[in-house]
Structure 1
Amino acid sequence: MKKIILIIAVLFSSIGVFSQEEITTYYLIRHAEKVKTDTTDKNPTLNNEGIKRSENWVKILSDVSFDAIYSTDYKRTKQTAKFVADSQKLQILGYDPRNMFDEAFQYNTKGKTILIVGHSNTTPYFANKILGVEKYKQIEETNNGNLYIVTVIGDIKTSTLLKIE
C-alpha cells in the first residue's frame, strides 16, 4: 500500500515539473472505529480496532510529508489524527465541517500537503467541495478505510479513492 501511495505522490509531483502552478494535495480520511457501547454519547473515543487502524494510517502515510493536519472537534477524529500528527511532529488544527474549504482554508493550504480527518458524511463532501463536483457519496457507517487523495494544480483538480482494509 505504501508503494501505491508513493507512486501516486511521484506522479502528482512530476506534474509540477511541467507546471508553474503550485501543487496542493489533500489526503482525506474518516475517523477510525469508535466505541459504540453508549448510544447517548455523541462524542465517543476510538475502540481498540480504531486505535489499531490509526496506527496503521501512520504506516500507510509514512512516505507523505504533511505540512498540516486538520480534524473536526470530536474525540474520535482528533485521536485518529493524533497518531499521524505525532509521527510527523505536527499540531492538529481544527476545521468546521459546516464551513469547509472556504477562502481562508484554501489560502492557508495552497501549495501544501494536508491531511484532513472527518466523518462518514463530511469526508466525501469535503473532497467534492475541493473538486467542485459531486463525485463521492457518503461513506457507509462500517467503512473507516477510505483514503481520498485530491490534487489541485491551478484550475486542474484530480482525485483518487483508495480503499484500505
Structure 2
Amino acid sequence: MSVLIKSAWIALLLMLCNPAFAEPEQLYLFRHSEKQTGSNPFLTEQGQARAEHLVSLVKTHPHITLYSSNYNRTLSTAAPLARYFNIKVITYNAADLTTLKNQLLAQTGVVVVIGHSNTTPQLASLLSNQTIENMDEGQYGHYYSLSRLEHGSYKANLRIMDF
C-alpha cells in the first residue's frame, strides 16, 4: 500500500474518531425528584421512589452516560441509575449550561442529565433550539426526551412519567 493511501486511511480514521463528530443519539433530561426542605436537601421517600423509577425509563439502553449537578437532591436522584448501569456520575456546574451543552454534544450513545426545575427546560432549549416553557417548582414527573434529527439538531419532547 502506498504512503499516500496509508495517509488517507489514517486521516479518515482520525476524523471518524474525532470527538467533534460525536453526538448522542438520545438525551434524557430529568429534574431531581421530590426533596426535603433545607439549603441542600436530600430526597423524600416519594422522591427516592421516583428516582428508582427512572431506571425503568432508560433500562432498555445497554449503556448510558450520566450527568448530575453537585447537589444532594440531584445526586440522590442519579444514584439508582448509577447503580443499575454500574457507572460513575459526572458532575456539572448548574450555573454554566453552555459548557454542559458542549460536554453533552461530545458524547455518543444515550446521555441522561439530572438537573433542576429551572435548568432542565433551559438545557432542553439550548440543545434543541426550541422554545421550552419553564417548569413549575412542583412538577417532578415531567422530563424531556431529545432525539437526534441531524448533525447538531435535536427535537425535544416533553414527557410525563407514568408513576
Whether TM-score is above 0.5 comes out as yes
Sort the Cα spacing of 1:127 and 1:66 in 2 relative to 1 into closer, same or farther, 3 A: farther
For 1:28 and 1:90, the matched residues in 2 are separated by 18
Name which of 83, 88, 104 aligns with 2:85: 88
> The residue matched to 2:75 in structure 1 has which SS?
helix
Q: CA deviation at 1:83?
A: 0.5
Identity of aligned residues (%): 25
**Structure with max Cα Rg:** 2
SS at match of 1:97: coil
- TM-score, normalising length from structure 1? 0.76
Q: What CA distance in whole angstroms lies between the structure 2 residues aligned with 1:91 and 1:44?
A: 21
**Match for residue 137 of structure 1 among 129, 133, 139:** 133
Residues matched between the structures, number: 140
Aligned to 2:95: 98
Matched residue, 1:14: none
Output the CA distance in 2 between the equivalents of 1:33 and 1:23: 28
CA distance in 2: counterparts of 1:160 and 1:52, whole angstroms: 24
Any unmatched runs of 5+ in structure 2? 1-21
RMSD: 2.1
Deviating beyond 4 angstroms after TM superposition, the runs of 4 or more aligned structure 1 residues are none
Does the 8 A contact of 1:66 with 1:115 survive in 2? no
Where 1:151 maps in the other structure, the secondary structure is strand
Contact kept in structure 1, 2:23 and 2:106, CA below 8 Å: no
In structure 2, how many angstroms separate the alpha carbons of the residues matched to 1:118 and 1:47? 17
1:108 aligned partner: 106
Distance 2:147 2:52 in 1: 25
Letter of the structure 2 residue corresponding to residue 47 of structure 1: T
Moved more, 45-54 or 125-134: 125-134
TM-score by length of 2: 0.77
Look up the SS of the partner of 1:140 in the other structure. Answer: coil
Structure 1: runs of 5 or more not aligned: 1-20
* Segment drifting more, 64-73 vs 89-98: 64-73
